Amino acid sequence: MLIEKIRADRLNAMKAKDEKKRNLLGVLIADACKDVKQPDDTAVVRFVKKFIENAKENLQALDKSGGTSTARDDTRREIDILMDYLPSQLTGDSLAEAIGKVMVLEAIEALPSNMGKVMKAMGVHYTGQYDGKEASELVKGILSGKS
């Protein structure tokens, strides 16, 4: 399970005296395990994505406000650490191919009214493996016959 990998990595960070990684993973574990002691991988991926989103917002704020280069580097490092816990991401052609497979597998017709069905099926079959906005645009194109 992903949460076990994160716990093991936190322990290794403690041994390596990597305070930044240890603290980041500690907060991630605490958040992910707040409601459920052993969250499933889907739930953990949701928390990881939330942490990455927050770090990216912080980085933008630092860039706008002229934050120190050390603070920007620390935030970029946080993002790099967290990216290791996401499944490989589908983009472009591989995402379009996955959408096509899901439509065949779930027998979903290429009609604009089936947008919700396709997105729901993508969430079931490819949880955490794609950017929702990009997938949505591709699905719209496919269902309207533009792709």
Q: Is the pLDDT of residue 131 over 90?
A: no
Instruction: Give the pLDDT band of residue 80 (cuts 50, 70, 90).
Output: very high
Residue 12: its pLDDT value, please? 97
**Residues 115 and 140 sit within 8 Å (Cβ to Cβ):** yes
Q: Is the pLDDT of residue 13 over 90?
A: yes
Q: What is the pTM of this model?
A: 0.68
Percent of the chain exceeding pLDDT 90 equals 61
Instruction: Give the pLDDT band of residue 76 (cuts 50, 70, 90).
Output: very high
Residue carrying the six token digits 């459920």: 36
d(CA 71, CA 97): 39
Written out in words, the top-level CATH class of the domain with range 92-143 is mainly alpha
Averaged confidence pLDDT in the chain: 90
Opening angle at CA 24, ends 20 and 26, nearest 5: 120
Residues 93-104: tens digit of each pLDDT? 999 999 999 999
Residue 24: its pLDDT value, please? 96
- Assign 144 to helix, strand or coil: coil
List helix spans (H) across the chain.
2-15, 19-32, 41-65, 69-83, 92-105, 115-125, 132-143
Residue 146: its pLDDT value, please? 66
